[in-house]
Amino acid sequence: MNGRLDSSRQRRLLLDPFQEAKAESVSQEEVPVSVSLKSYVRDQVRRNAERFSRPLRIARGYGEYQKRRRVAEAVLPSASYDVNALQVEGYLRIEPPPALVAELVAASRRKLTDVPSLPQSRNKAFFSQLLESSDLAVDSPFMRFALDEKLLGTTAHYLGVAPFLESVELLYSKPIQGQPAQSQQWHRDRTDRRIIKVFVYAVDVTPRQGPLSLLSRSDSARVPELLFHYVPDQQMARYVEPGRTVALTGPAGTTIMTDTQACYHLGSRCQEPRLAYVAYYSSGFGYRPRERSWKVPEVARSGLSPLQRLALGSL
């Protein structure tokens, strides 16, 4: 499905943006899953080696790290959502200003309608990431949401440092046949000691749209460390009763903050398409190099707060 939209497809998408991809659902068989002892050992070695890179990164960027700590300490409790719930449960439903959410939902839906073709994620048959670099100007609805001062303040409180914005994505999840694969299976994002992902649904999400589903921090802690990265349901059931899964359903605009490093999670087990915006924050000094560097024009920079500048890696 390449090329510009013909007018009949444009009409269909406008009438029901989710109908078309349903018809184009792909088969899970297209994603090869090879689980072997070799890949297990490679995964474990990589996981542990990556952890050791964090102190080295902090040593190399010590001045910036200290600045991130100072800025986080200066965040007032009133400028933050309930960080305690995040500490205890590992996730939190929040209610950002309704106008900000409505603008993001509308922009997300427009993006889906306007996209000339659904880009195929390299390794996940069920995902299309719809945002392009032109959507990520500092004043775009996608970035203004990610740079919301209260969201950054809460994340700073939780991480203990002013966060770095690793990525902003608009994920269109398609129904596919076959067994759950990759992030449709239980996993934790082992990329930093703590991270925050903020999900905003751009459509109503019921169990049919494959909600983000997770285990609380304490339930997640019951799962042994030495498992494969992706844990099938049957194996997870040995450690945590399936009934304890928290399926985060909700109407369009539902906004969830979660530490996907601490909490086992999965999602996109869709029977009907889902559209979700995801902003991902780390300390900027995690187990891996930063996912990207942001280019902030000088004129835009002067209008940003210290938290916003640090989120963009600009000191």
What distance in Å separates the CA atoms of residue 297 and residue 309, rounded to the nearest whole number?
12
Which residue in 293, 284, 296, 282 sits closest to 189, CA to CA?
A: 282
Binding-residue total with ligand AKG (CB under 6 A): 10
Count of CA atoms in the C-beta half-sphere (13 A) of 160: 7
Q: Please give the C-alpha separations between residue 154 and each of 34, 83, 121, 196, 261, in angstroms, as whole numbers.
A: 39, 6, 30, 10, 17
Confirm or reject binding of residue 261 to ligand AKG (CB under 6 A). Answer: no
Nearer to ligand AKG, 71 or 94 (CB): 94
Helix (H/G/I), strand (E/B), else coil: 167:
strand
Q: How far is the CB of 274 from ligand AKG (least distance, A)?
A: 8
Nearer to ligand AKG, 191 or 314 (CB): 191
Q: How far is the CB of 192 from ligand AKG (least distance, A)?
A: 13
What DSSP state is assigned to residue 302? T
Cα 157 versus chain centre, distance: 19
Nearer to ligand AKG, 71 or 263 (CB): 263
What distance in Å separates the CA atoms of residue 160 and residue 58, rounded to the nearest whole number?
14
Residue that the structure tokens 């844990």 belong to: 231
Query: According to CB under 6 A, which one of 111, 157, 217, 265 is a site residue for ligand AKG?
Result: 265
Q: How far is the CB of 247 from ligand AKG (least distance, A)?
A: 11
Q: How far is the CB of 185 from ligand AKG (least distance, A)?
A: 9
Confirm or reject binding of residue 141 to ligand AKG (CB under 6 A). Answer: no
Residue that the structure tokens 């992030």 belong to: 183
Q: How far is the CB of 181 from ligand AKG (least distance, A)?
A: 11
Within residues 3-22, the interface with ligand AKG by CB under 6 A covers: none
Within residues 172-211, the interface with ligand AKG by CB under 6 A covers: 173, 183, 189, 197
Nearer to ligand AKG, 12 or 292 (CB): 292
Rg over alpha carbons for the chain, rounded to the nearest Å, is 20
Within residues 158-177, the interface with ligand AKG by CB under 6 A covers: 173
Q: How far is the CB of 175 from ligand AKG (least distance, A)?
A: 13
Nearer to ligand AKG, 80 or 260 (CB): 260
CB 60 within 8 A of CB 53: no
- Contact range with ligand AKG by CB under 6 A, out of 14-22, 54-62, 225-233, 265-273: 265-273
Confirm or reject binding of residue 259 to ligand AKG (CB under 6 A). Answer: no
CB 154 within 8 A of CB 256: no
Backbone angles phi, psi at 280, to 5 degrees: -125, 125
Which residues fall within 8 angstroms of residue 191, CB to CB, at 6 or more apart? 166, 261, 282, 286, 287, 288
Q: How far is the CB of 278 from ligand AKG (least distance, A)?
A: 6
As a residue count, the chain comes to 315
Query: According to CB under 6 A, which one of 267, 273, 284, 286 is a site residue for ligand AKG?
Result: 267
Q: How far is the CB of 73 from ligand AKG (least distance, A)?
A: 28
Confirm or reject binding of residue 215 to ligand AKG (CB under 6 A). Answer: no
CB 37 within 8 A of CB 264: no
Confirm or reject binding of residue 279 to ligand AKG (CB under 6 A). Answer: no
What distance in Å separates the CA atoms of residue 19 and residue 252, rounded to the nearest whole number?
17
Confirm or reject binding of residue 128 to ligand AKG (CB under 6 A). Answer: no
Contact residues toward ligand AKG (CB under 6 A) are 173, 183, 189, 197, 212, 260, 265, 267-268, 278
